Every structure is written in C-alpha cells, then in structure tokens.
Amino acid sequence: MAPDRANRRNRLAGPVHFDAVRALLGVERDRFIAGYKFDIAPATDDRPYFHSFFNWAALPELLALGPTGGAALLELGELILVATLVQAVVLSLALVLLPLRARRYRGKPGRLAWRFGTYFTALGLAFFFVEIAWIQKFVLFLGHPLSAVAVVLTGFLIFAGLGAGASAALERRLERMQVSAIDVTVAGIAVTALLYLALLPPLFEALSGLSGAWRVAVALALIAPLAFFMGMPFPLGMTRVARTDPDFVPWAWGLNGCASVVSAAASTLLTMHLGFSTVVMIAVAIYLLAALAMRPGITRAASSAA
C-alpha cells in the first residue's frame, strides 16, 4: 500500500496508523516499540502478560489528560498492584514492627542486629520471589493457573518443611568439617535455581505429552530439590540468633513476616516488567546477600564490637 492511500476515511493529523504498521514491519521495529507511549512489546513465555500495556513514563501525561479522556487510557490493574504494595508496607510496619518496637529490643546493639535483620528480611523477600516466579513458570507445564498454584504451593510447603527438619542434622555434620551450613544451603539454592532457568523450558517441551497426573508428579519432583534447600536458611539463622542474641528472636520473626507480605505484591510487579527469569536471578542475589550477612567470621566480629 502506498503512503498516499492512507488516512483517507477516519482522518487524523497524519497517517499515524500507516506509519506505525510500517515501522513494526520494518527495520525500525525495536526503536518504535521502545519509544511508544505504551508497552506494546510482544508477550513471551517469560513475560506472558498479554493484557499489560502500561508504561510508567507516560503516567504524568495521562494524568494531565484526565479531564479530556486520558483516564480511560490508564491501566488500573497495575496501579492497584502498586496500591497493594504500599498498603502491605504500611500495614506490616504498623502491625508487626511497631508492636515489636514497643517491646524495646535489649539485645546486642549495632552491627550484629543490622546483620541479623538483613538476613531475615532477605529470606522473606527471596523465598516468595522464587515461589511466585515458579508458579507462573509451571502454568506452562500444568496447563492452568489454578493447577500451578495448587501444585507449586503444595510442593514448596512439603519439601521446604522437610528441609527445615533436616537443617539441624546438616549443621552438626558440617560443623565438624568447619563449613557454614548457611553457605552450603544458599549455594544449593543458587545453583539449583539458575540450573532450572536453563533446563525447564526444554524439559517442559519434551514432557508435554504426559497425562495430567504424570505432570503433577514430575512438577513435584522438580520442585523438591529447590524447595528442600530453601527450607533450611530460616531455621539455621534462627538457631544462630538464639545462641548469639536471644532477644532478637521476635525481631527475626517480625522482619521476615513483613518482608514476606511485601514480596508477594512486589514480585508480581517485577515479573510484569522484567520477566520471571530476572526475578529469580534477583532472588538468588538476595539469598547471596543473606549468606554474606551471616558469615561466621563477620557475625563474630560484629558481636565482639558490640
């Protein structure tokens, strides 16, 4: 179609629809998508949000157009997610941390408390980042979001609980070898999660012919190693806190609970913009930060300084 045949009936200031289609079909495709006022990038298996077009850069302009119809262009779903995140932060602070603050923590001050706080906050964030990303990834394999939620949550609860139960025995064995159990479990989480990012897509494709019951069994088997490792860091850290600074135990529970509530909303926002794989890699980085905060030499030095 020639340019002079465009913009004949529903006339606009210029042939914007013709120009847009030509850009999308030509070499300027990526630049056009990046510069468009809405997110029109193609949906992928890693970011399958077909309904999401909102671009935060366009928010001021859309709000300014409100009286003339700009409000109709707002994606309220994403704004509601942001409002949910804000509410989660405010309510978790009000209902968990403020009561703990009134309790007046009397443990060892300074760097040790900050390191313990960083550790348990990081665990709360990272656990749910991985869990929610895995729910979305297993939708492809299990065929329905409800199936994925049921199977993945069940798998994480069962195998993380088994990992928590085995953590004490692992710590006793590794102590004789002078190896940190937290370092080992976090390394297991990192290696397993990153390995799965590479292996799950071709594995799902290869096993796509299985019946529903076999898919559930395979999904639980795949979840088991990662969830087992992810169940260990919390009890291992709690044991160390109880030995070093028992007064911090309620704070550890409170900080972990606040982070867990906040991460449920934050992970959804992040996956919508960055994709599941990136969120899992962020979670791995947070787990590594937690392990660094609880390195035995660092915590002993902080305890001595306090």
CB-based burial, 205-239: b 16+ in 10 Å, e otherwise: eeeeeeeeeebbebbbebbbbbbbbbbbbbbbbbe
Rounded CA gap, 127 and 293, in Å? Answer: 17
* Per-residue pLDDT reduced to its tens digit, 170-217: 999 998 888 899 999 999 999 999 999 999 999 999 998 888 899 999
pTM: 0.83
CATH class held by domain 85-97+111-294: mainly alpha
Domain boundaries, the chain: 85-97+111-294
* Per-residue pLDDT reduced to its tens digit, 214-268: 999 999 999 999 999 999 999 999 999 998 888 888 889 989 998 998 998 898 8
Contacts for 35 with CB less than 8 Å, ≥ 6 apart: none
Closest CA to 294 of 44, 159, 51, 120: 120
Q: Are 168 and 239 in contact (CB under 8 A)?
A: yes
